[in-house]
Structure 1
Amino acid sequence: MQDHDLDSNVLESLAAKDFGGRTPGPYIYRLLIGVAFLWACYQLYIASPLPLKLDFLLFDDNQQRNIHLAFGLFLALLSFPAFVKSPKSRIPKIDWILCIAGVVSCLYVTVFYDDISERLGGTHTVAEIVISVIGLLCLMEATRRIVGLPMVLVASVFALYAFGGRYMPSVIAHAGVSLNRFVDHLWLTPEGIFGLPIGVSNGFIFLYVLFGSLLDRAGAGSFFIRLSMALLGHYRGGAAKAAVVSSGLTGLISGSTIANIVTTGTFTIPLMRKSGFSPEKAGAIEVASSLNGQIMPPIMGAAAFVMAEMLGISYYDVVKHAFVPAVISYMALFYIVHIEALKENIPVAKRVVESTFFKKAFLFATCLILVIVSSVCIYFVISGLKFVFGDYTVWAAILLVSVSYLLLLYLSSRQPDNLLGDEISLEAQKGVKSILLAGAYYVVPVGVLIWCLMVERFSPGFSVQWAILCLLVMLISQRPLVALFRKQSLTPEMFKEGLKDLFHGMVNGSRNMVTVAIAMASAGFIVGVVSLTGVGLLMTDIISTVSGNNVLLMLLFTAVMCVVLGLGLPSTANYIVVASVMAQPFVQLASQNGLSVEPFAIHLFVFYFGLISGTTPPVAVDAFAGAAVAKANPMKTCIISFGYSLRTAILPFIFLFNQELLLFGVSSFWYGLFVFIIAVVAILVFAAASQQYFITKSHLWESAVLLLAAFTLFYPSFWLDQIQEKYAQVPVKNIMEIAEKQPDGQKIRLLFRGRNFSGEDTSRVVLTPLGAAGKPGKQRLSRNAGVVFKVEGEKVIASAVLPGREIAKSGVMSGWELYQMQLPRERIAKQWFYLPAFLVIALIVFFQKRRMPKSQALSEGSSVQSAAA
């Protein structure tokens, strides 16, 4: 009884972090859930074509952001108490005052939008300034309550910097801003609070959080966990392996790591403990699994949508480039769990439904073939629909989805009614077939979303609208249709339950969004100050000075910045702040060092470390949440989960230096598959080295050798650079002829020198593309590199530097001399270095096999046999 109470208290405290934990009287409670439901309805309405068709509540994007934040502030200031000791059963008057003031401040900009627009950049009225200051203060109070005091302190530091710029050190000094200009930029224009972060929250994130909430309310969360247990529960360490898979699936419906931990951990952690894992390891495995759920495509964490907007690329491109690191990271975690099960000698759970190895092999092959054939058939069927039905393709696709839903729901109705409602246990797992058939219809909305995103390549907002429409129909219809399929009588309660699920799903979606909306707005505050003061333009020189122009030190500095800010900021806000300050300067400094870095790579680097901060000692909120659910020692859980997450921490450094892992420069499917296979081997070897266990327990020197082999597989170019120079120097006076002869996509390294604005002699190194071949060298240089050269005797001078291009961004100015030019050398293939790496791995396997005890070999054999079965 005591354990049960403890679990309840833990879940309530974790839920309070997202929902506020207030339990006011019935009338106020109805008001809060009514506003939450209205918020969800409003977001669905403005995302649909209805405003244009009805010409009603037709707001532009800026006004939509104002209303979005107004809803967020209303729920934030009334649902979240000001202090720990503040009353939970009632709402104090001061909270009502703050709530009304915050909402009015947002809606004022919407109502008087035209009048304010006429004064943007000029002098505003006293009323506008007062309203803006009140709005900013209300936002900071909501941020303090929800996000935490550290975010407010960071915002305050940026505000002080904005007002006191003239008193700052010379390297970051600026003229300072007035209160009028400050509120104009941060509150009255779409540059600060109502800028890109809150725009993404309004346009995409709300709908995806709502999709996850509705999918969970439909029962998909329970289905994912039970399916994972049915698939993996009978393996050695099966409960932990099921936690890894179920957390990845739950990432579809969960907007945060903590929410994922609570959703899946309440089921998987007790099972892991029961199977033999210590409480600390059980909690740590769940934390690491839930963290990876946020990086796993196709539905990644909220920051991924912000990333797409900041980079100006499609969400499809984000998923494509993030795919390989995410998948291999998950595979490595699965392998780490298996190693832990071997080290702890976790027994293999007995299956209720026994089967032979050949039956399982046949079933696996059959399922794989069915998935492949079904995917191909669906692709060609929908392509055929476009050809046959033309303008009516949408209606034909709706009919196809409806038939699929009815067929899968019929198969579900043939299964026992309580199949997805039974208690989960290792000893009484139902067969995979039964579980899969019972919940296969949940694939329909998820499949629609993935198809729209990845195949049709619709926008994220448009894609999720179709998926939500499927869920709305599913929630209302699943109970009555199952009753019809079972030839039972229909009752009003069936429809009422569906409407109730729909209502609560929308309310929970809005309540989940309160934290996100406030975090996005507060991040917009910092982004606004950065753009207002121009400090982002100074960061190149600052970072160069701090790091000594060393790329690796720059990366370490960025990683530490992410981790430190992550102590008090949510991962999305953390990403926005660090990326807006560090990303572009890093790309420029890397270029000066001859390293061509795609902007996406450094953004994904920041995204990863923003998530990892939740497991980094000493303040690791995600790890502490896992420890609370597992009733384990928080610091031990934190340290163990950080160890499990080392593979996720090392990957960002690797894919920045080897961008083929992000599929940049990968020109064919087969080469992409080759890159993936090598990456899988490398990450598994790294995982084995970090756990000091490969075939058997590793000696320290064996782990060191495995780390070296993993490094070689990940980054073979490192060794190639040691034996062959990467660039060859060519005469600068022949730059036009040389540029004209270069192939498509070639990059050249240009070294400039000259005087900066301060009159100091300085130099810059720029790695710049030449674009498509077949054009004069002068044209390729001006269009792609952004520079026009003139030859003066033996010197080549940059006569014009075009703004906005890489050369201009690096600080090169007109009149500077090009004193050196370098082209990539022809070198041996870097893949030759894979051979010694594989040879070393084979030798370690040989040595460990020889010394492995016979009893362990027999145990390993039985483990493999049971896993295969």
Structure 2
Amino acid sequence: MVNEHETLSAEKQQEILEKYDPESATRKLKGSMGIIVFVGLLAFSIFQLYASIAQTVPRQILLSVHLGFALSLIFILFPASRKTRKKDSVAWYDYILSILAVGVGAYWPLMLDTIVNRVGVLTPLDLTVGTIGILLTLEATRRAVGLPITIIATLFIAYAYFGQSMPGFLAHRGLNFEGLVNTLFFTSQGILGTPLYVSATFIFLFLLFGAFLVKTGVGQYFNDLALAIAGRRIGGPAKVAIFSSALQGTISGSSVANVVTSGSFTIPMMKRLGYRKEFAGAVEAAASTGGQIMPPVMGAAAFLMVEFIGGISYWDIAKAAAIPAILYFTGIWIMTHFEAKRVGLKGLTKEQMPNRKEVLSKIYLLIPILMVIILLMSGVSVMRAALWSIVGTIVVSAIRKETRIGLKKIIEALVDGARTALSVAAATAAAGIIVGVVTKTGLGLKLANGLVGLANEQLLLTLFFTMITSLILGMGSPTTANYVITSTIAAPAIILLGVPALSAHLFVFYFGIVADITPPVALAAFAAAGVAGGEPIRTGVNASKLAIAAFVIPYMFVLSPELLMIDTTIWYLIWVVFTAFTGMIGIGAGIIGFWYRKLYWFERIIAVIAGLMLMYPEGLSDTIGMILFVLLLASQIMTKNKGKYKLA
């Protein structure tokens, strides 16, 4: 097994997390304040569990209380500034903000009948509470999630208010102050809208599920299982990073957190084996980012898709995302394999490997994840599947003493799950502002028409412009907010051209996620560079090259929805997947510059062209691509010994 000293210390991991992930930059409170926060987080989880089990809490009350809990705890835990924060004390003004947040959260439960009966007519008190609620949401989002989404939400508010002053097709009649507050806080289209509803139901329960899984030690088990499967192969540690991150992605909601936790283990291994710092960091960043597109959780965005698309089940989304996710990780695997062959890197030694029998004896830890999939396949609701999987995790953990979850760990899991949910609640509340403005002003359709017009109604050009838009909008945003923004602003453009809604939503979701490894703002790559000690931009460039599949696959499933298992036959699906895998081998060899031997420059060009033609789902393209691929493969095999001596 890899020695302890090869991994980053917990303190270093936390330092990197706080630098690149706003969700981790919290105060470390002790004493009476620490107890109050602990009780508050526990109460948050208990309320959410009660609401999910009973399902009798009115929607507006559920969302208002959910928001009140999240905002009040954020102001206690997250300081106004990272530079000036005191980690063990709360600023006086944060107490005031926290109390105001409690009041905002309690307003709907106390005034529900009165608000409903007034039908959109606001009293001065309504106007005051609504304004405070909007401002608190923006500030809490800035602290817990970061500036990008806060700026975007603020710009949307300004757009709604100054609509008459907007240029060209962006102009609208505008909302006065009262109308703006009413839309954003007193309707189901604003802060207390669909994104926050998904946070208060599906997402919260799955975050709890993840917290319970962590208590069983499943995170470390993912690393051990990955080592047992891939550790001794060519470039073993890089493949361990890919496999481990794919598994971590089933429960993780953050690319950066995934990078730091699994990367603290895999990146030092890769460096010791001989991988360059920037390449080692890039492998982990690309793999961890891919965790956000890996079913069944998909960074919680899958639950939002159910609500946003409508008429589609959660299982339909998870099933549709499966093949693209597998293709994504296969692409990274192929690239790291060729890089390891090019540099001459071997796998880990027998002494560095974990005991395989011991690892396989704990395979039962994966049963709760399988439970989620089986329950969803059988038609059980998402909420019930999450609840039963939490129960299943507790039961399965009892098989061995070292994995057993007792009462203390159950309480800790409830607190940890609620703590993780704070930033998600803030992000989805801010996303509700964006959705509210888009709905009220018709901005989504305006931007869609603008993109389609700019592309002269050409599908490929519209896809390209939508990709650029999604990459920009996704920079620095967490997964859930990322999807809300891109699906609201960018997806309608593709749908206008007749693309199925599921394909369009997954298209913008993929590129929003890939923003985490695309310079200049590549948070996952920057975090990986921090772990590896490499140069951030170079790490981001390498990560983007490794994740080239993520830049191609979305075009594939838009042009050929069969890849998402939409209206297809099993034989056609097998052919599309086969040509896609083959194409990625060609692209990987061309980009890395090595296959069976080092490639000449013109062979690299041919390899990439063959790969792209194979990945384009069309008969003639597949035929030409396959011919080029086979000829290049034959040339490689026949001249590999010559290449070894004369081209290396």
Task: State the TM-score, normalized to the length of structure 1.
Answer: 0.71
Query: SS where residue 329 of structure 1 aligns?
Result: helix
Aligned residue in 2 for 1:296: 294
Using the alignment, how far apart are the partners of 2:564 and 2:217 within structure 1? 34
Shift of 1:848: 2.2
Aligned residue in 1 for 2:584: 683
Shift of 1:2: 12
Aligned residue in 2 for 1:770: none
Aligned residue in 2 for 1:106: 105
Using the alignment, how far apart are the partners of 2:318 and 2:75 within structure 1? 35
Give runs of aligned pairs for residues 74-153 of structure 1, distance below 5 A. Answer: 74-83=72-81, 84-121=83-120, 123-153=121-151
Shift of 1:141: 0.8
Cα 1:692–1:78 shift into 2, 3 Å: same
Using the alignment, how far apart are the partners of 1:478 and 1:33 within structure 2? 29
Shift of 1:282: 1.2
8 Å CA contact 1:72–1:518 kept in 2: the answer is: yes
Using the alignment, how far apart are the partners of 1:205 and 1:513 within structure 2? 8
Q: Deviations over 1:528-579 (max 9, x none)?
A: 0111112223234322333333322322222222222222322321221121
Query: SS where residue 170 of structure 2 aligns?
Result: coil
Q: Deviations over 1:834-867 (max 9, x none)?
A: 333222111111222333236949xx9xxxxxxx
Using the alignment, how far apart are the partners of 1:345 and 1:539 within structure 2? 50
Using the alignment, how far apart are the partners of 1:10 and 1:636 within structure 2? 21
Using the alignment, how far apart are the partners of 1:553 and 1:539 within structure 2? 15
Using the alignment, how far apart are the partners of 2:289 and 2:524 within structure 1? 8
Give runs of aligned pairs for residues 175-194 of structure 1, distance below 5 A. Answer: 175-194=173-192
Query: SS where residue 236 of structure 1 aligns?
Result: coil
| Structure 1 residue identity aligned to 2:299 | G
8 Å CA contact 2:6–2:269 kept in 1: the answer is: no
8 Å CA contact 1:686–1:707 kept in 2: the answer is: yes
Which of residues 421, 424, 437 is equivalent to 1:529? 437
Cα 1:842–1:5 shift into 2, 3 Å: closer
- In percent, how many aligned pairs have the same letter? 34
Aligned residue in 1 for 2:521: 619
Give runs of aligned pairs for residues 400-439 of structure 1, distance below 5 A. Answer: 427-437=351-361, 439=362
Using the alignment, how far apart are the partners of 1:253 and 1:163 within structure 2? 40
Shift of 1:88: 2.2
Give runs of aligned pairs for residues 326-341 of structure 1, distance below 5 A. Answer: 326-341=325-340
Which of residues 23, 37, 61 is equivalent to 2:28? 23
Aligned residue in 1 for 2:320: 321
Aligned residue in 1 for 2:636: 848
Aligned residue in 2 for 1:444: 367
8 Å CA contact 1:678–1:713 kept in 2: the answer is: yes
8 Å CA contact 2:16–2:531 kept in 1: the answer is: no
Give runs of aligned pairs for residues 276-425 of structure 1, distance below 5 A. Answer: 276-312=274-310, 313-351=312-350
Query: Which piece of structure 1 moves more, 127-136 or 444-453?
Result: 444-453
Aligned residue in 1 for 2:255: 257
1:212 aligns with 2:210: yes
Cα 1:638–1:522 shift into 2, 3 Å: same
Using the alignment, how far apart are the partners of 1:254 and 1:233 within structure 2? 23
Using the alignment, how far apart are the partners of 1:440 and 1:323 within structure 2? 22
Query: SS where residue 98 of structure 1 aligns?
Result: helix
Shift of 1:186: 0.8
Query: SS where residue 150 of structure 1 aligns?
Result: helix
Cα 1:671–1:537 shift into 2, 3 Å: closer
Query: SS where residue 490 of structure 2 aligns?
Result: helix
Using the alignment, how far apart are the partners of 1:458 and 1:577 within structure 2? 29
8 Å CA contact 1:221–1:253 kept in 2: the answer is: no
Q: Deviations over 1:27-58 (max 9, x none)?
A: 1111112111111122122111xx36xxxxx4
Using the alignment, how far apart are the partners of 1:431 and 1:145 within structure 2? 44
Cα 1:23–1:430 shift into 2, 3 Å: closer
8 Å CA contact 1:287–1:622 kept in 2: the answer is: yes
8 Å CA contact 1:479–1:498 kept in 2: the answer is: no
- Structure having the higher helix fraction is 2
Using the alignment, how far apart are the partners of 1:79 and 1:659 within structure 2? 45
Aligned residue in 2 for 1:764: none
- Structure having the higher strand fraction is 1
Query: SS where residue 109 of structure 1 aligns?
Result: helix
Aligned residue in 2 for 1:71: 69
Which of residues 443, 446, 464 is equivalent to 2:386? 464
| Structure 2 residue identity aligned to 1:8 | E
| Structure 1 residue identity aligned to 2:319 | K
Using the alignment, how far apart are the partners of 1:699 and 1:843 within structure 2? 15
| Structure 1 residue identity aligned to 2:500 | E
- Listed as ranges, the gaps of 5+ residues in structure 2 are none
Shift of 1:5: 8.4
Shift of 1:679: 2.0
Matched positions, count: 639
Aligned residue in 1 for 2:616: 715
Cα 1:10–1:468 shift into 2, 3 Å: closer
User: Higher relative CO (CA 8 A, sep ≥ 6), structure 1 or 2?
Assistant: 2
| Structure 2 residue identity aligned to 1:466 | W
1:8 aligns with 2:24: no
Aligned residue in 2 for 1:374: none
8 Å CA contact 1:18–1:511 kept in 2: the answer is: no
- Listed as ranges, the gaps of 5+ residues in structure 1 are 53-57, 352-426, 483-493, 592-596, 718-829, 861-869
Using the alignment, how far apart are the partners of 1:443 and 1:178 within structure 2? 53
| Structure 2 residue identity aligned to 1:349 | L
Aligned residue in 2 for 1:516: 424
Using the alignment, how far apart are the partners of 1:66 and 1:546 within structure 2? 41
Q: Deviations over 1:413-464 (max 9, x none)?
A: xxxxxxxxxxxxxx33234233111x1221221221111012x022221111
Which of residues 818, 831, 837 is equivalent to 2:625? 837
| Structure 2 residue identity aligned to 1:613 | A
Cα 1:629–1:73 shift into 2, 3 Å: same
Cα 1:835–1:557 shift into 2, 3 Å: closer
Q: Deviations over 1:382-428 (max 9, x none)?
A: xxxxxxxxxxxxxxxxxxxxxxxxxxxxxxxxxxxxxxxxxxxxx33
Which of residues 620, 631, 634 is equivalent to 2:536? 634
| Structure 2 residue identity aligned to 1:46 | A
Shift of 1:102: 1.8
Using the alignment, how far apart are the partners of 2:631 and 2:525 within structure 1? 37
Give runs of aligned pairs for residues 27-46 of structure 1, distance below 5 A. Answer: 27-46=32-51
Q: Deviations over 1:91-137 (max 9, x none)?
A: 1111011111122112201221111112233x211100100001111
1:157 aligns with 2:59: no
Using the alignment, how far apart are the partners of 1:508 and 1:441 within structure 2? 23
Using the alignment, how far apart are the partners of 2:194 and 2:573 within structure 1? 33
Query: SS where residue 458 of structure 1 aligns?
Result: coil
Aligned residue in 2 for 1:565: 473
Query: SS where residue 486 of structure 2 aligns?
Result: helix
1:269 aligns with 2:267: yes
8 Å CA contact 1:297–1:322 kept in 2: the answer is: yes
Give runs of aligned pairs for residues 216-227 of structure 1, distance below 5 A. Answer: 216-227=214-225
Shift of 1:479: 5.3
Cα 1:711–1:3 shift into 2, 3 Å: closer
Aligned residue in 2 for 1:489: none
Which of residues 478, 484, 488 is equivalent to 1:580? 488
Q: Deviations over 1:801-846 (max 9, x none)?
A: xxxxxxxxxxxxxxxxxxxxxxxxxxxxx3x653332221111112
Shift of 1:229: 0.5
| Structure 1 residue identity aligned to 2:127 | I
Using the alignment, how far apart are the partners of 1:700 and 1:855 within structure 2? 13
8 Å CA contact 1:562–1:575 kept in 2: the answer is: no
Larger Rg: 1
